[in-house]
Chains A and B, each alone.
Chain A
């Protein structure tokens, strides 16, 4: 039987190589996703434990912090250790973050303060300079700051700059998604900041919980303790919120890669099944003769299945090995978003799962496909009877079918193999899913970037201006006289039952451009509040929700739910009047919408002519452009990679299909050439015969994409906290993608049909 296996392998070695490469790609993708799945979380937890990072951290005004509070926290059930870190807090605008300005809630710590909880390790340390900052990895990897650079914050119109002395690894804050970030200053820099009123002196209590303690319960009791003592919490962070925020992109990529691998595996199974079925049809007489001379059905089935098993196994081993070259690059990209890096190592579990899942699936399906061999009767082979031929029909008879003979011949060829058509349809449909996904992503990131940005962000004005009580009305009047639309809009950090909550305050939500409300409505009167998706389920519309600000509490009725990716759904909205119940001092902040006016020029005007009215001016449009450009380049690279993989897969799969076709039609091509058909005619006829199925598969997948793509994007975005995505599903773009996919198929098909040129009419006679 070994001889038969070898014969089968040699006979179609090109097609087996293609199948092997498809398996390699599948293994590469699946193993990568599994390694990320198994190792990212583990590496995160390991680093978390190495640095003895706080399970919970709460910040309170420095004046409220004392030894008694520390003792009270330590005495709470489930708390193993507590430590106090003093810091300066500000919501400051970080300059030149990825070339733009980003406002972040930032804690400035003294680097020299002793720490046993939430420790740091230096990733880079120049060891120079008395003044300077040690920045977290996130600012270095994504923000683009290097040691030796200067990091600059603008707060209330004042500029605060520090040389970057080093990069530290920390696991308590980490990225923009958590809403807070920590910077570690040398003593002199810290002292210099402490002298300014722009910063709030805070004390942070970092807590390690006991093994087995319920984090939510500890968090709740800590919150109750502070409430009981009337101490406001500026932030209350827990390890799970930080982890989910920092591993969000990694989790999304794992999901995406796994789905991609499964799609490719599905296509591969169709491919193997098609080849085996076709081989049986072509060699039915030979197999019958082999049965006649004593080969059993099992032996013949094994001779068909083993080559696929061997090739699949080799492809999988190679793909698994190659994935280790790819994973470090992916881990580096993920480190940019997660703010921590790790070195992926060999993972036996991932490799075993990759090989076993794919190999077992391929073996099962190829074995099922080869089951037809059991039904072969040796006597039919001896008599030269091919049941497949007996069952053939003359499809599209030329004398009665409509259309030209050429068109009828194409349809005849298209109708020759149902198996081939099913395979082509499946391949096209699956590839079109990838291409549709990519096209819609590209469209919404590059052509309609606002769709993407408004899904991930809150309001995106052109300019944010902060004023004060004395000049606010004058500023508003001046801006209004320039024809610039202005809406009073600002954010404050308040408290709710379990900790701090960013709260949007706006005079009129209907004036905003990004509607982030996905259920109910925005607050319209002073009693209403809209809360973030984090509270969806726990609360319902109509429930009461209490907000506290600087010791003053007010109850509101929930009127809707809003999304906020940046805050993991922990957010709330109030009207100006509603905010009035918490504070006598309104927010003197405006969102400006330039609507066609030169934004950069108007920012200059605000900083020049109107400087007397403003405390700070932020070019939000520039931030948006920078963010869009960052995402656009990332998405374009991903889209280009997906497109290349799609074309490669089409190439490999079409190679098998076209080779099978040209092999099975070799005699017919010879006959046609003897009659006078040219190679070009036969190539066009062959490519034409696959085009209808490809076109139908592509267009059907594209049209269905209008329904399934929103569900896909909803799934992806809801996973990261965006329950209302603003993506458009442009039918034209989807249809264009379908046409491009069909064109790619035609071009590749034409190239793969070139061996038809080598089939000569004379070879027919010689071989005959």
Chain B
């Protein structure tokens, strides 16, 4: 069955600065993201992978080119129109997590949920279901972010990203600030969500994280330097690891 394109970017260009300090991040960049995929974007530091991901999500605006997201061209939208678009179609998971520190985990999630639903009971019910799925206890979800572990906070961050059932969850180095155990727990949540059909785009430096993806794209010098199809993730598939190793070696990573 042919995959359905969910995001399509054409002739993208992103430039930072101007004049002598001008820095072209990418130019004439084309990419399609498919529904249901767990797309991993890798590349060396400064390759422009995060910039690309935030452009695709409408969080940042490209200097030139077009992005069509769920059939809507989002380039040229006003910042408020993009905000409304994001609340319906995008969920975000950040390396620094960025939970609002004066709200409990549940309130952080419900606040995001309130953007698409006015039914408070329904929002809380959905949030609790998701908290259950990511193994955050009833007690923990009522705590403030400063009183819980990084892994718990990041899993709460994923719940917040998923609460509005977005078309795509964008994750920027979600395990970058976590220890090994917490990283695994967070990655398990991503895999679980992807199994249910959730499209995910994740930027990472970490091979273990990349292994969870179904499609790995390597960015170099502002262009796609290579792509690797890893297929659906299974925990005990050793060949995936070898395939990814070979791909990254080819990419001189």
Given contacts A398-B124, A404-B118, A409-B111, contact A676 B59 (CB under 8 A): no
Q: Determine the main DSSP class of A at the interface with B.
A: helix
- Which segment, of A81-89, A243-251, A313-321, A388-396, faces chain B? A388-396
Report chain A residues within 8 Å CB of B99. Answer: 671
Report chain A residues within 8 Å CB of B115. Answer: 675-677
Nearest A residue to B98 via CB reads A671
Cβ-defined contact, B114 with A409, below 8 A = yes
Nearest A residue to B106 via CB reads A399
Q: Residue A676 contacts which of B54, B84, B96 (CB distance < 8 angstroms)?
A: B84
Given contacts A398-B124, A675-B92, contact A392 B83 (CB under 8 A): no
**At the interface, yes or no: A674 with Cβ under 8 Å from chain B?**
yes
Residue of A389, A399, A679 ringed by the most chain B CB atoms within 10 A: A399
A23 to B57, CA, bound (A): 48
A397 to B103, CA, bound (A): 8
Chain A 593-606 interface mask (CB, 8 Å, partner B; 1/0) = 00000000000000
A431 to B84, CA, bound (A): 39
Cβ-defined contact, B120 with A765, below 8 A = no
A496 to B102, CA, bound (A): 77
Given contacts A409-B111, A676-B115, A765-B94, contact A398 B106 (CB under 8 A): yes
A679 to B83, CA, bound (A): 9
Shortest C-beta distance, B129 to chain A (Å), equals: 13
A673 to B59, CA, bound (A): 9
Report chain B residues within 8 Å CB of A678. Answer: 80, 83-84
Chain A residues 402 to 456 lying within 8 A of chain B, measured CB to CB, are 404-406, 409, 412, 416
- Which segment, of A487-495, A632-640, A756-764, faces chain B? A756-764
A394 to B141, CA, bound (A): 11
Cβ-defined contact, B102 with A416, below 8 A = yes
Cβ-defined contact, A675 with B86, below 8 A = yes
Cβ-defined contact, A397 with B92, below 8 A = no
Report chain B residues within 8 Å CB of A762. Answer: 54, 59-60
Cβ-defined contact, A406 with B104, below 8 A = no
Given contacts A394-B142, A398-B111, contact A412 B102 (CB under 8 A): yes
Given contacts A397-B104, A676-B84, contact A768 B96 (CB under 8 A): yes
Chain B residues 42 to 74 lying within 8 A of chain A, measured CB to CB, are 50, 54, 59-60
Given contacts A674-B92, A675-B115, A676-B87, contact A394 B102 (CB under 8 A): yes
Cβ-defined contact, A676 with B86, below 8 A = yes
Chain B 96-117 interface mask (CB, 8 Å, partner A; 1/0) = 1011111110110011111100
Chain A 649-693 interface mask (CB, 8 Å, partner B; 1/0) = 000000000000000000110111111111110000000000000
Size band of the interface chain B makes with A: 35 or more
Q: Residue A761 contacts which of B59, B96, B111, B118 (CB distance < 8 angstroms)?
A: B59
Given contacts A405-B120, A677-B115, contact A392 B94 (CB under 8 A): no
Report chain A residues within 8 Å CB of B146. Answer: 386, 389-390, 392
Q: Residue A405 contacts which of B86, B98, B111, B144 (CB distance < 8 angstroms)?
A: B111
Shortest C-beta distance, B116 to chain A (Å), equals: 8
Given contacts A394-B142, A405-B114, A765-B172, contact A676 B102 (CB under 8 A): no
Report chain B residues within 8 Å CB of A667. Answer: 98
Shortest C-beta distance, A317 to chain B (Å), equals: 41
Shortest C-beta distance, B157 to chain A (Å), equals: 10
Report chain B residues within 8 Å CB of A679. Answer: 79-80, 83
Chain B 113-145 interface mask (CB, 8 Å, partner A; 1/0) = 111001010011000000000000000001010
Nearest A residue to B111 via CB reads A409
Report chain A residues within 8 Å CB of B142. Answer: 394, 397
**At the interface, yes or no: B246 with Cβ under 8 Å from chain A?**
no
Report chain B residues within 8 Å CB of A392. Answer: 101-102, 144, 146
Cβ-defined contact, A398 with B98, below 8 A = no
Cβ-defined contact, A399 with B110, below 8 A = yes
Chain A 51-65 interface mask (CB, 8 Å, partner B; 1/0) = 000000000000000
A674 to B110, CA, bound (A): 15
Report chain A residues within 8 Å CB of B124. Answer: 398-399
Report chain A residues within 8 Å CB of B79. Answer: 673, 679, 757, 760
Question: 17 other contacts beyond A394-B102, A762-B60, with CB at 8 A cut-off?
Answer: A390-B146, A394-B104, A397-B142, A405-B114, A405-B120, A405-B123, A412-B102, A412-B103, A412-B107, A671-B98, A671-B99, A674-B59, A675-B115, A676-B90, A677-B115, A768-B95, A768-B98
What are the nearest 7 A-B pairs in CB distance? A676-B87, A405-B114, A394-B104, A678-B80, A398-B110, A399-B124, A762-B60
Please list the residues of chain B having a beta carbon within 8 angstroms of any beta carbon in chain A: 50, 54, 59-60, 79-80, 83-88, 90, 92, 94-96, 98-104, 106-107, 110-115, 118, 120, 123-124, 142, 144, 146-147, 160, 164, 172
